[in-house]
Chain A
Amino acid sequence: MSATFLGMPGSFPKNSRKAVQNSQLRFNLRKATHTIRGKRAGVVGELPDWQELRAAGKAIKDHTLRNLDRYLLQLEEAVTRAGGTVHWARDAAEANRIVTDLVKATGETEVVKVKSMATQEIELNQALAAHGITAYETDLAELIVQLGDDFPSHILVPAIHRNRSEIREIFLDKMPHVPPGLTDDPPALAEAARLHLRERFLRSKVAISGANFMVAETGTLVVLESEGNGRMCLSLPETLISVVGIEKLLPSWRDLEVFLQLLPRSSTGERMNPYTSMWTGAVEGQDFHLVLLDNGRTDVLADEVGRQALRCIRCSACLNVCPVYERAGGHAYGSVYPGPIGAILTPQLRGMSSELDASLPFASSLCGACYDVCPVAIDIPEVLVDLRAKAPHAAAEKAGMKVAGWILNDHERLAKAQRAATRARKLVPKRLPGPLSAWTDTRDLPEIPEESFRDWWERNERA
C-alpha cells in the first residue's frame, strides 16, 4: 500500500455515493459477499453447539479485557522465558520506530510481510519506506492491492473489489517476469503469485507479522492463514517481528479450543483454514521480537458501551452480511477497518474530529445482521447508536432537538403542538424545502392525522 488512508477526504455519504455508481464494483462485491455468506451459514449450521461456543468466546474476551494488565504481564514473562523479546508501543509512531530500529539492526533493506491489520493500521510500510526499507506483502490479496497501488477494501480479502480479469490485468501490468499468456483462471493467477514470491521467501532474512491470538499462560502466538505465505514468513527468515494489538490476548491454552472453531467458520466459511502456525518465543534458532501495540485501544477500553468492539477477532463476517457494505464497498469507510465493525472501531480509535470519522456511526441502517453473525456477539447496533449520540451535530439540528425535547417533555405542550399541527395540516407540503429535501427525496413525509390519538381518546372516553 503506497497511499495513505489517514488523509482520505470526504465523508461516508459522499464516498459511498461515488462507489454505488461503479457497477463493476457492485457486481464484484455482490458476487463475493453472497458466496461467502452461503459458505459460512453451511459450516456454522454443522455445529450443534455454535451458540455455546459464541457465548464462551464473548465471555473469554470480556474476562481478558477486564484483567488485561495481569494477562499482558503474564504474556511478557512467558515470551521472555521462551527466548523472545517484548516491546511496548503507546502509539503508531512508537511501534514504527521500534520495528524500523529492529530491521536496521539486522542490516537488511528488504522485509517480507504476512497480512496484518495492525501493521496496516499504523502504516508500517510507509514508515519503513521512509528509512529505505522495502516491505513486500506476500498474501495474494495484499499483493494485488500493493501491485495495483490500491487500498484494501475488506479485512479478510483486501482485493474483494477486484474480479479475476482485473487481477490478471494488474499482474500483466505490474508483475515482473509474469508468465506469458497468463489467463484469468484463478489457479493460473495463484501460480503466478507463487513464482513471483518464491525467490523472495527463500532469501529474505527478516519477516514482519501480526497475530490472531496470543496466549498469556504459555506465551504462544497464533497465525491463521490459507496460502502458506504465513508459514514461509514465520519459519524461514532469521528474524521475526510480530506487531500485535494488546486486545489479541487469550488467558489460557485451552481458550484456543473456542476461537479455532469460531474464526475459520466465520471468516472464510471453512471447517478449518488450510494452515495455522503456533510458536512460543524463539523457535528453531530464530530471533523473535513481539511489539505490543496500544494505539488508541486503551481509550476504547475506557468506554463502557464501546469496549465490546475490542472483542473483535477480525473475521469479517459482519462485512459479508451488511447491506450497506455490499453496496458501498470498503473504500467508502476510509479506514483499514471497513464495514460494520469499522464503523464502530475507527471512530473510537481515531476520535470523531474529521468529517469522515464523524460520519461513520451513521453508515448503517441498524438492521442488526452484523450482530447476528458476530462470533463474539458484539452488539454493533448498540455501539453505533451510542456513537451517534456522541458524534458532533450541526447547531440547527441541536436546536431542533432541544425544541422537540421541550415539547415532548410536557403532555400539555405536546397536545397544543399536535392541535396546531392538525390545524396546519393542509399547509404542509409533500416535499420539504432546502436542506430538509434530503429526507423527502427518498421518503414520504408522514401525513398529519385530522385528530391526535390523545384527543380521540379524550372524546371517546367522555362519551
Chain B
Amino acid sequence: MSAREEILARVRKAVAGAEDVEIPRHYRTNRQGEDLVGLFAERVDDYRAIVHVVPAAEVPGKLDACLGERRMIIPDGFDRAGGWDDVNTADGVVTGCAVAIAETGTIVLDHGPGQGTRAQTLVPDYHLCVVRADQIVAGVPEALARLDPARPLTWISGPSATSDIELNRVEGVHGPRTLEVIIST
C-alpha cells in the first residue's frame, strides 16, 4: 500500500463512528465602521510605524517628501515614473496595497499592479505604503472576504520585529526596518 493510501485508511479507521460537529459562527463579521481611518492609523502607529493621514489631493506632494533622494523601487503599475531596479542596492520600495485592516493595523499586499513582487517588498530596508481610505475594512473577516486566495499574499503589521529576546517586541530583523504609511482620504 502507498503511504497515501495507508494514511487515508488509518484516518478512516480512527474516526469511524465519531460524530460530526456544527460550526457556530457567532463572532463579529460584516462590521460597518465608525472611524476606520482613525482606528487604522492608531493601530499602525502602535507598531512604531510612521503614519500620515493626508487628503487625496496632497498625496503626490507627501510622496515626494517621503521619497526624497532615496533610491526607491517603484513597481509596475504604481502611478509614478522612474525608480531604482536592483533590490539589493535599493534604499526602499513604495507600493499600494490590496486591503487594510483597522482593528489590527494590518496592510495586505496581493502583489498585483503597483504592489511589486514578494522580493521587492522584502529585501529593501524601507517600505512606504499608500493606503486608500476605501481599502480599509474593520477586521480580519472583512479583509479575507475581499482577498483572492489564488494570489500570493503578504500581511504586514508594522516593521520587521522579533519577540525572541525575553519575549519583548524589538523592531528590525530581516524585513524592512522602517514602515511608513500614507493614508489617502
Contacts and interface: CB of A to CB of B under 8 A. Distances in A.
Interface string B159-185: 111111111111111111000000000
Q: How large is the interface on A (under 10, 10 to 19, 20 to 34, 35 or more residues)?
A: 35 or more
For the complex of A and B, 10 pairs with smallest distance between CB atoms: A228-B175, A228-B174, A298-B10, A227-B173, A235-B118, A276-B155, A302-B14, A141-B164, A257-B141, A272-B157
Contact of A66 (B8, B18, B123): B18
B23 A63 contact: yes
A272 B23 contact: no
Given A90-B6, A226-B161, A283 B152 contact: yes
Given A68-B11, A271-B104, A186 B23 contact: no
A164 B166 CA distance: 7
B144 interface: yes
B11 A284 contact: no
7 contacts: A53-B27, A55-B26, A88-B3, A198-B174, A228-B173, A274-B156, A294-B7
A56 B27 contact: yes
Contacts of B3: 88-90, 94
A211 interface: no
B154 A231 contact: yes
Contacts of B46: 271
B154 A276 contact: yes
Interface in A194-218: 194, 197-198, 201-202, 215, 218
Given A32-B167, A140-B164, A231-B154, A63 B11 contact: no
Interface string B14-29: 1100111111111111
A194 B174 contact: yes
Nearest to B87: A202
Given A215-B149, A260-B140, A274-B160, A246 B7 contact: yes
B162 A194 contact: no
Nearest to B23: A59
A71 to B, nearest CB: 10
A45 to B, nearest CB: 14
A271 B7 contact: no
B11 A194 contact: no
A280 B147 CA distance: 13
B166 A227 contact: no
A277 B26 CA distance: 27
A25 to B, nearest CB: 13
B20 A227 contact: no
Contact of B171 (A187, A202, A246, A307): A187
B28 A187 contact: no
A32 B174 CA distance: 23
Interface in A84-130: 88-90, 94
Contacts of B96: none
Contacts of B105: 271-272
Interface of A: 28, 31-33, 35-36, 48-49, 52-53, 55-56, 59-60, 62-63, 65-69, 72-73, 82, 88-90, 94, 138-141, 144, 156-157, 159-160, 163-164, 167, 186-187, 189-191, 193-194, 197-198, 201-202, 215, 218, 220, 226-229, 231-232, 234-236, 246, 253-254, 256-258, 260-261, 268, 270-280, 283-284, 292, 294, 298-299, 301-302, 304, 307
Given A231-B118, A236-B119, A273-B157, A56 B28 contact: no
Q: Which residue, A35, A94, A228, A275, has most C-beta atoms of chain B within 10 A?
A: A228
B24 A186 contact: no
A227 B167 contact: no
Nearest to B176: A228
Given A67-B20, A187-B171, A278 B149 contact: yes
A274 B46 CA distance: 12
A186 B170 contact: yes
Given A53-B27, A67-B20, A253-B144, 10 more contacts: A52-B24, A56-B24, A66-B18, A67-B15, A88-B4, A260-B144, A275-B155, A301-B10, A302-B14, A304-B18
A167 B165 contact: yes
B19 A268 contact: no
A218 B151 CA distance: 11
B163 to A, nearest CB: 5
Contact of B160 (A228, A234, A253): A228
A304 B139 CA distance: 36
Contact of B21 (A66, A190, A198, A292): A66
Contacts of B57: none
Contacts of A235: 117-119, 122, 152
B32 interface: no
B164 A159 contact: yes
Given A49-B27, A278-B152, A298 B7 contact: yes
Contact of B149 (A59, A73, A253, A275): A253
A235 B139 CA distance: 26
